[in-house]
Amino acid sequence: MRRPHYSPFAIRHSQSIIPYHSPFAIRYSLIALTFLFTALSCNRGITPGVLRFSHFWAEPGQRAVLDSVVAEFEKENPDIPVDLIDLSWADGKTKLMINFNAETAPDVIEFGSDWIAEFSASGVLENLTNDPTFQPALTSSPKYAIEPGVWRDSIFAIPWFVDTRVIFVNQEIAQGADPSFTDSIRFKDWNAMYALGDKIQRSGIGRGIGVNGSDAHRLYKKILPQFWSNGGDIFDAAGNPVFASEKNIAALAFYVKQLDAGMMETQKNLDDAFKRGKLGILFSGAWLLKPLAKSEFKWRSVPFPGNDGNEGISFAGGEYLSINSRSKLKPQAAKLIAFLTRPDNELRLAKAFNIFPANSELQQDSFYLNRNQGNVFIEQLAKARMTPVHPQWLEIEAILEDEVSRALYKKATPEAALRSADKRVAQLFVEG
């Protein structure tokens, strides 16, 4: 029995555009970590020669398709058996941190886009920059999808899937509140969307616009598009926080204003209200397409609107594949990633997972083009952004959501909330 001789979650410094000065440490007590590391080190349960792949597609229907694709990989590569390890979004990140510290991390790892920088900066992921195996996947992905996998000009994660959010409109409520509303309407800007939401709210036919209240890991996905679509951002070119820019303050003020023309709830409750035909306008994702296919009312989607001449930019998330830098099966791991991102397999899996392939050309497949409102999502994917690449993003995200919530619940003005966010994030960097 031996103790791990290194800890990837130690102090490391970045020379990237956004400065990083924070200790990268698991947030547990030293005693608890020692117990876990010792237990895992003594009983690793790792079979030599078996390629281990951790993923987040454990829902039975999704897992069945993933199993079949991996079985085909094993058939093509009979010398590479694969062990699939199910993770959940609730505790998957914590489990991976523990595994890395205990030297039991899988060989191939799926990451969400906002996790990658934290792991890339820790030195536990293999540098894939000069491996030609991954060039097909990289060249077929849009720039914004590649960025989360890059750290200090090196590539540590390969894009696999992407997704975005659009505006959903209940056409029957909209037409009841505004007879001039037509099926082909698109909001020319924020004000047009607000005007319709206000008419719906005043009509009493339904609630106008859905506004996310305090909702961890979701609220920031609503406010960032407001910033971006007003020409704002949260960091300047030197990596300093600029939450309290005039454009961002105006964007948050507009988001708070939407409360006058709608309802504030969690994402889940807003989705439920729209599915029940009670909400007129909702910013949400493709997960609604399947339940809405059975709806008894007419609905449609439109791209997220911009403001003051700026184009509407939505939030994009993604799934990525990386290799453990300490894996003893790196060539085999590279083969599996190449296989999973091969166009035919990537498309097959994306369809089964109800998500979009990172490969831009595959997004033009008839499966996406022919489904209801498919073109709107594809159009929005071309005008989308992901979260900033920073190892402390989750801490930054929490600060942003906290301050936006203060503005929504009228505990601070939009300006005061964002100035506080600037100070708290700046202090976060200093304390690191």
What are 353-373's pLDDT values in tens digits?
999 999 999 999 999 988 888
SS3 label, residue 214:
coil
Least confident of 166-170, 211-215, 253-257: 211-215
Same domain (yes/no): 232, 136: no
Q: Do residues 47 and 151 share a domain?
A: yes
Percent of the chain residues topping a pLDDT of 70: 89
Say how many domains are in the chain.
2
Q: What gap in Å lies between CA 116 and CA 366, rounded to an integer? A: 31
Same-domain status, 289 and 275: yes
User: Looking at the structure, do residues 366 and 337 belong to the same domain, yes or no?
Assistant: yes
pLDDT, residue 44, reads 57
Listed residue (321, 211, 334, 190) closest to 261, CA to CA: 211
pLDDT band with cut points at 50, 70 and 90 for residue 432: low
Residues 261 and 410 in one domain: yes
Q: How far apart are CA 369 and CA 120, in angstroms?
A: 35
Inside any domain, residue 11: no
Q: In this prediction, what percent of the chain has a pLDDT beyond 90?
A: 83
- Please report whether residue 13 resides in a domain: no
Whether residues 100 and 55 share a domain: the answer is yes
Residues 175 and 272 in one domain: yes
Task: Collect all residues with Cβ–Cβ distance below 8 Å to 284 and sequence separation of at least 6.
Answer: 165, 166, 168, 210, 267, 270, 271, 274
- Asked if residue 96 has pLDDT above 90, the reply is yes
**Shared domain check, 407 and 352:** no
Segment 143-164 shows an average pLDDT of: 96
294-310 mean pLDDT: 95
Query: By CB neighbour count within 10 A (0-12 exposed, 13-18 middle, 19+ buried), where does 212 fall?
Result: buried
Q: Is residue 369 part of a domain?
A: yes
Average pLDDT, the chain: 89
Amino acid in position 397: E
Decide if 226 contacts 234 (C-beta within 8 A): no
Q: Can you give the pLDDT at residue 348?
A: 97
Among 23-32, 254-263, 265-274, 275-284, name the one with the lowest average pLDDT.
23-32
Res 184: pLDDT: 73
Domain harbouring 236, CATH code: 3.40.190.10
Given this model, what pLDDT does residue 32 score? Answer: 45
Q: Residue range 160-165: average pLDDT?
A: 97
pLDDT digits (tens, 9 = 90+) for 26-59: 444 433 444 444 444 444 568 889 999 999 999 9
Residue 99 lies in a domain: yes
Domain annotation covers residue 65: yes
Structural domain harbouring 401? 164-315+389-431
- Does residue 114 sit in the same domain as residue 241? no
pLDDT at 410 over 80: yes
The answer to whether the CB of 252 falls within 8 A of the CB of 130 is: no
Q: Are residues 323 and 378 in the same domain?
A: yes
Dihedral sign computed on CA atoms, order 59, 61, 62, 68: positive
Q: Which residue has the higher pLDDT, 181 or 183?
A: 181
Asked if 366 and 397 sit in the same domain, the reply is no
Whether residue 226 is found in the same domain as residue 245: yes
> Is residue 375 included in any domain, yes or no?
yes
Residue 119 sits at the vertex; the CA angle it makes with 116 and 121, to the nearest 5 degrees, is: 105
State the pLDDT confidence band at 119, using cuts at 50, 70 and 90.
very high
Question: Whole-angstrom distance between the N-terminal and C-terminal Cα of the chain?
Answer: 34
pLDDT number for residue 30: 38
Which is higher by pLDDT, 330 or 37? 330
Q: For 51-84, write each residue's pLDDT tens digit.
A: 999 999 999 999 999 999 999 999 999 999 999 9
Residue 21 lies in a domain: no
How far is Cα 264 from Cα 214, in angstroms, rounded to an integer?
A: 9
With b meaning 16 or more CB within 10 Å and e meaning fewer, what string describes 363-401? bebeebeeeebbebbbebbebbbbbbbbbbbebbbebbb
Q: Assess whether pLDDT exceeds 80 at residue 13.
A: no
| N residues, the chain | 432
Structure tokens at 416: 């005061």
The token pair at 120 is: 């890339």
pLDDT at 9 over 90: no
Domain annotation covers residue 284 = yes
